[in-house]
Amino acid sequence: MNNLEGKRILVTGGTGSLGQTLVKRILTGEMGKPAGVTVFSRDEAKQHYMRLDFLHRKAATDDIIYQNSQDLLKFRIGDVRDYSSLLTAMREADIVFHAAALKQVPSCEYFPFEAVMTNVYGAVNVARAIRENNLAVETVVGISTDKACKPINVMGMTKALQERILIEANRDCTDTSLMCVRYGNVIASRGSIVPLFVEQMRNNQPLTVTLEEMTRFLLSLDRAVDTVFAAIKSGNPGETFVPKVPSAKIVDVAKALMIKKELPIIFTDIRPGEKVHEIMVSEEECFRTVERGGYYVILPMLPELRGEAEYVPALKAEYSSKDKNLSIENLRELLGQSSSEIAQFLAKS
C-alpha cells in the first residue's frame, strides 16, 4: 500500500513515544515514501534529542530510516493550544496524525483545565484550521485511548471530547476525512507501568501495584502504529479503529517480569481517576461496531455521517480488559516482543 506516497505529513506530539515510533515507521517507506515529515511539538529538548537520534545515529539495520531522516524529516516548535502556530504547520500538510496530548491520568486529575486546553482545544484547533482556511488536508487521524470509553477520569473525558470534536468536524470539512484510533496501554511508552516495574526490579525494590484485580489492555508501540496505518488504509470519515489486543492483570505483568529474582509486590490502592478495568468498546457502541481487517471499527454516532449502508454488528457486549486475561507465560512472551530493552531485561533476569 502506498497511502503516504508523495504526501506531506504532520505529526503533532511527534516527540512522544507513539509519535517517535510512528515517524520511524513512516520513514521506512512501508506505506510509500512521503514528500516530507514534520514533527510538531512544544518541547525543544525532546526535539533536540529526537533530531540527534534520527539524524546522527546511523545503524546498519536502519539505513533507509537514516537516509530518509536526512532528506525528509523536519522539526517545528509549536503547541496545539496555539491556533496560529498549528495553522502555520497545517498549511503544508496533506495528512495530519494528531498525537499531541496530556495523557497521564493523575496529572490530568490535578490539573484538569490543562488537560482541557491540550486534549480538547487542541482538537478544536485542528478542525478549526481546516474549516476556516479551506486547507488541503486530506486526512486527519486523532490518537485516542480506551480511557475515552465510558470515562471516569479527566484524561478520558477530554479524550472522549477530542474524539467527538474530530468526528463531528466531518460535517463541514467535507474535503477532509477525520478519523480516530482508540487503544489501550502501550507497553514501552513513557510513564507506563512496565518501565516502572523494570526500574524497581533493577533497584531491588518492591513492585507497586494499585489493586490485585486491576486489568489493562496491552499492546506494543508497533501494534499501536499498525492501528494508525489501518485507519489510513481503509478508514472512512468519522470512524474509530480499535485493535484486537490481549489484556492482563497488572499483578500478573509484575510476576511475568520476575523470572529468577522474586521481589515482594505491594498494593498501594487505586490512584486518582483510575479504573479497575478498561473498556475499548462500550455496550452502547456495540450496535454500530463492525469488523474490518482484523480490527473493530466503531461507526460514527451521528447518523448523517454513518450513512444508510447495512452492516452486521461485530460485538454483543462491551470489549473489556476484564475478559480473557493472558497467562503469566504468555505475558512473558508478549513483553519480550514489545521492545528490545524489555527483551534484554528478561534475558538477563
Name the residues annotated as catalytic: 147
Cell numbers for 74 = 523536519
Q: What is the number of H-type helices and E-type strands within the chain?
A: 15, 16
**Contacts by 107-113 with C-beta closer than 8 Å and gap 24+?**
108/153, 108/154, 108/155, 108/158, 108/273, 109/153, 109/154, 109/155, 109/272, 109/273, 110/272, 112/154
Q: How far apart are CA 55 and CA 67, in angstroms?
A: 8
Q: What letters, b where the CB count within 10 A reaches 16 and e where it falls short, cover 47-64?
A: beebbeebeeeeeeebee
Measured at the alpha carbon of residue 231, what is the angle toward residues 228 and 235, in degrees to the nearest 5? 170
Cell numbers for 114 = 490543562
Instruction: Report the amino acid identity of residue 323.
Output: D
Q: Are 266 and 212 in contact (CB under 8 A)?
A: no
Q: Which residues contact 153 (CB under 8 A, 6 or more apart)?
A: 105, 108, 109, 147, 272, 273, 274, 275
Query: What is the residue-wise DSSP string for 175-220?
Result: TSEEEEEEE-EETTSTT-HHHHHHHHHHTTPPEEES-TT-EEEEE-
Q: Which residues contact 133 (CB under 8 A, 6 or more apart)?
A: 87, 91
Q: How far apart are CA 157 and CA 145, in angstroms?
A: 10
Cell numbers for 293 = 481487517
Measured at the alpha carbon of residue 40, what is the angle toward residues 37 and 41, in degrees to the nearest 5? 150
Instruction: Report the amino acid identity of residue 290.
Output: V
